[in-house]
């Protein structure tokens, strides 16, 4: 899962579409958690904003990023913090849509979704 988040951020940097990283975290573990929630928020927002039949698949991909028992525990233990991370991701989608247009933002979100759906790569 962590690999998928890192790959999604790499795609963002390579494409040049606005995609700011989550706020700086206190430690590496928190940064890893923040990335998963950030991308899930980005994808969830895109599922609402982008027209078409792909929305359900996008929501499933977003939820899949948070499906591990570890991330569920983080969600239960830190609801305000995880909500903030997800809102940052959603805000980033909105910022990309305002900067590059909704079509470009939706196209980019589909790329992120496709990457999020990939099985984790061995580290």
Report the range of poorest mean pLDDT among 7-11, 56-60, 96-100. Answer: 7-11
Burial class of residue 15 (count of CB atoms within 10 Å of its CB; 0-12, 13-18, 19+): middle
Q: What pLDDT was estimated at residue 31?
A: 76
Please determine, for residue 80, whether its predicted confidence score (pLDDT) is greater than 90: yes
Report the range of poorest mean pLDDT among 21-25, 58-62, 72-76. Answer: 21-25
Model confidence, pTM: 0.75
Q: What pLDDT was estimated at residue 20?
A: 52
End-to-end CA distance of the chain: 10
Question: Mean per-residue pLDDT for 45-66?
Answer: 93
Confidence of residue 27 (pLDDT cuts 50, 70, 90): low
* Cα angle: 89, vertex 52, 57; to 5 degrees: 60
- Residue 13, C-beta contacts closer than 8 angstroms, at least 6 positions apart: 19
Average pLDDT along the chain: 83
């Amino acid at each position: 899962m962590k690999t998928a988040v890192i790959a999604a951020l790499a795609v963002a940097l390579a494409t040049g579409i606005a995609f700011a990283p989550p706020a700086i975290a206190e430690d590496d573990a928190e940064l890893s958690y923040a990335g998963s929630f950030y991308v899930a928020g980005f994808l969830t927002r895109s599922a609402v904003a982008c027209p078409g039949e792909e929305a359900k698949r996008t929501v499933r991909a977003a939820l899949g990023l948070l499906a591990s028992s570890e991330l569920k525990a983080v969600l239960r233990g830190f609801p305000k913090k995880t909500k903030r991370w997800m809102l940052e991701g959603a805000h980033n989608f909105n910022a990309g849509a305002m900067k590059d247009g909704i079509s470009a933002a939706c196209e980019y979100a589909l790329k992120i979704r496709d990457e999020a759906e990939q099985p984790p790569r061995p580290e």
